[in-house]
A and B are shown apart, each in its own frame.
Chain A
């Protein structure tokens, strides 16, 4: 059974960056894509991008191109999502997910001056 554990809540200023981690255990980390999904308050789910750790290749939703970077560290079975040029509309809970089956617990990112 794969478990995904994410880093804790963050409060950021507009214009800054945030980096959220997602540590996997109990499965073969490198072989399966890790996706990042966010959910703004009261809204639906929105896919941001994904990485296949064994290939080190990431691809991104067009909406976030140029502002999001997804990386993975195979040695620690951890994936990262970094979002830059933060604005208030980026306030959301950010989730990682593996294979469309396993989900992290979510990380609340609040962007406020």
Chain B
């Protein structure tokens, strides 16, 4: 099976842009959809990106997702950072049996 590796933490200032990476250890990142989940402290996860780059209704277009086959990674980019974006972010994809595989999560600090 493969692993999804995320940076443990990232930080950026309000109004700036931050990108969180999610690198797949084996197999092509493009072979299975990637989702991104936001989890604020004490709350359930919510989906900010599904199927690589789709936003659920209600998610602002400051959130975008992409896939880069050259680095075998997915990225979540948040522009115009707000303090409310401070949260843990998890990437998730599927293995060959359609089982979910999660990244370890990235703590985003907006300071």
Contact = CB atoms under 8 A, between A and B. Distances in A.
The answer to whether A and B assemble together is: yes
A59 B97 contact: yes
Given A1-B57, A59-B97, A100-B35, A47 B102 contact: yes
B47 A46 contact: no
The bracket for how many chain A residues form the interface is: 20 to 34
Contacts of A53: none
A59 B45 contact: no
Contacts of A103: 44-47
Contacts of A105: 44
Contact of A100 (B39, B47, B103, B104): B47
The bracket for how many chain B residues form the interface is: 20 to 34
B102 A46 contact: yes
Interface in A64-113: 93, 95, 97, 99-106
A30 interface: no
B92 A100 contact: yes
Interface of A: 1, 35, 37, 44-47, 50, 59, 61, 93, 95, 97, 99-106
Given A59-B98, A95-B44, A106-B44, 10 more contacts: A44-B103, A44-B105, A45-B39, A45-B105, A46-B102, A47-B101, A95-B45, A101-B50, A102-B47, A104-B44
